[in-house]
Structure 1
Amino acid sequence: MVGTPRPQRGETVRRRYADLIDAFLAQEDPVAADECARLAVGQGVWRDPLQRPVHYLPSLDPVPVHDPADFWFVPYLEENYPLIRAELEQVLGTADNGFLPVEEPLLATGDWKQVTFYEGGQRFDEACERFPVTAGIIEAIPEATLAGPGVVTLSRLQPGSRIVPHCGASNAKLRVHLGLHVPEGPRMRVGDRTLRWNQGSCLVFDDSFEHEVWHTGDAPRVVLLMDVWHPRLDPAVQRLIAEDRGSLATRVRDFMRAQGLVRAEDTGDTILLHPDERVETLIRRHMRQAGTRVVDIRHEHTLQETPKGPGRAD
């Protein structure tokens, strides 16, 4: 009897499998992670156990590393490498170079910072004004900027850093790296391939494949990073994805709602977050029971509590 093909799974199933696999990887159990990924492939969640995006288009073949020669903008970027590198060195010599910690919790050890020029088609003027030469060069690549599917950044990784195994959220895009400052030591695994950067040259890979980075050198690694649409993606699907992704403000609002936050306030020194009534009630109840006025979970995932002083109200 011929077996019935398994149905394509939806985003909810993919997200739950991805979270479970990430939990195994966080516990440094790659065998369990691989077994879970292969089970997911057998159940029609993905086609390749090393390619696990939540937003998944099964019509796109699972290819982890692409030939840079297939992309018109690669020689353009490589020709402009000396200008981008010279501006980078100039800005790095200033006190305020604009590099900020990467927001994603992917760094196991070390230091990883970036300057963001574009995200989800939104231009960040401050970064573009700080790096006007680089901004002018990348603005000639609409596949990555205002019409782009992801981010355009300068990514700076310090020696001794380790970025943990992870998969990008979508296989509808590819990631491009132009090596700007490449010492001996850094390397990246994408799927089952190990890659090394070359100064002034581009790598193109699918970051929806599991990838990780090690930097065992003695100087920072800096690349120009940009996301572009997958070349085999139907233009109609590309437009639908672009229209559905929403602005950065929309994504921040959605995140705050999901976390039970109603207000965020920049005091200059810190960001104050105000919870909704449900979350505030829960935290206040815990504080009363514990007799504390501060709860801090940053230390090894334990509650660090500061007792109330005399005469302090609840």
Structure 2
Amino acid sequence: MIWVLAGGVLLLWYFIVRYYLKGTSSSYILSNLCPSPDCVSCSGSLKSLYSSDVGPKLKKMYGKYDSLAVHKIEERLTFDMSAMTEKRRPTVCYLRDMCSDPWHNHKQKYLQDTLLDSYSAIKSEVANIISEQELWSVSDMQSGGSWQKLFLHNQGRKIERNCKGMPRTTALIEGLDTFMSGVIFGNAYISILNEQSVIEPHCGPTNLRVRCHMGLQIPQGDCSLTVNGKQEHWANQECIMFDDSFLHSSSNNTDSQRIVLIVDLWHPNLTIAEIKIFGELFAVRH
């Protein structure tokens, strides 16, 4: 009798995992913390570290910054995502009542033009450094394939060794006035999604940023980015900009590598005062 009951429980669990969890949004599955203690998006301890002292820090800012701006941030910034849908559930923090548009391709055009003017220089530096495998981090996808990244800035920290190998690209990025320099949400890196590879649906850490993907080597065929259910296709010398607090995924179902430059920028709906405040709140801790 015990064995029959045990078998029934195992069978029930199989159907829950096989059909119910598979049918739910992948963001539910991917919201589980990853093992890395250094990942701002996934580490519970890092999230607690930054969220615990936001209140006291904001109190001290009333005499330093515009009081109304500080007050509005106090009212709108939350670390509790329990009431949010799985289509938009940032893993660290959320600023309420800011922007509900996931796509920003037609905004911040001057930044895109600045990047695109240096397309040849960036691509040349990538070609020179692509064979230095010790500089690249590699992630194997659960669904197969792999993803390679070469960080110039990783969660607000400048990776000096990599930047020396791409000096013109580094100078360009650091010259952008809305690049999230020195902030835990700020990254700049070369991303290579290898052939027949898929990055599963997930949400970024916050809606304080817009992520820019600049196409450097885009294969012909089924190579796309999906944000909030809408699919876009890359092209060489083209920038795709989106709010990655929305559920998003990437796929490269071709036989060639997809190479893009990824840069995190302050959200265009933030004021200059708000950017200064958030820059201090979420500055990298050394």
Alignment match, 1:146: 181
- 8 Å Cα contact 2:198/2:252 also seen in 1: yes
- Which consecutive aligned stretches of 4+ in structure 1 deviate over 4 angstroms post-superposition? 23-26, 31-34
TM-score (norm 1): 0.61
Could you say what the CA RMSD is over the residues aligned between the two structures, in angstroms?
Answer: 2.9
Q: What is the aligned counterpart of 2:115 among 77, 93, 97?
A: 77
Distance 1:32 1:83 in 2: 37
1:113 CA drift (Å): 1.1
Q: Higher helix fraction: Structure 1 or Structure 2?
A: 2
Alignment match, 1:91: 129
Matched residue SS, 2:231: strand
Instruction: Say which is worse superposed, 226-235 or 152-161, in terms of deviation.
Output: 226-235
Alignment match, 1:57: 95
1:101 CA drift (Å): 2.0
Q: What is the aligned counterpart of 2:167 among 117, 132, 155?
A: 132
1:97 CA drift (Å): 6.3
Alignment-mate amino acid for residue 169 of structure 1: P
Alignment match, 2:214: 178
Q: For the structure 1 residues 45 and 85, does the alpha-carbon distance in structure 2 shift closer, same or farther, using more than 3 Å as the test? A: same
Alignment match, 2:22: 28
Distance 2:18 2:244 in 1: 20
Matched residue SS, 2:94: coil
Alignment match, 1:164: 200
| Gap regions ≥5 residues in structure 1 | 1-22, 35-42, 250-314
Distance 1:147 1:71 in 2: 23
Q: What is the aligned counterpart of 1:201 among 215, 238, 248?
A: 238
- Render the CA deviation track for 1:251-306: whole Å, top value 9, x for unaligned: xxxxxxxxxxxxxxxxxxxxxxxxxxxxxxxxxxxxxxxxxxxxxxxxxxxxxxxx
| Gap regions ≥5 residues in structure 2 | 1-16, 29-80
| Number of aligned residues | 215
Alignment of 1:233-272 (within 5 A): 233-247=270-284, 249=286
- 8 Å Cα contact 2:27/2:86 also seen in 1: no
1:33 CA drift (Å): 7.4
- 8 Å Cα contact 1:25/1:33 also seen in 2: no
- 8 Å Cα contact 2:87/2:247 also seen in 1: yes
Distance 2:194 2:247 in 1: 22
Instruction: Say which is worse superposed, 149-158 or 170-179, in terms of deviation.
Output: 149-158
Q: For the structure 1 residues 172 and 107, does the alpha-carbon distance in structure 2 shift closer, same or farther, using more than 3 Å as the test? A: farther
Alignment match, 2:137: 100
Bigger Rg, structure 1 or 2: 1
Distance 1:195 1:156 in 2: 17
Q: For the structure 1 residues 31 and 78, does the alpha-carbon distance in structure 2 shift closer, same or farther, using more than 3 Å as the test? A: closer
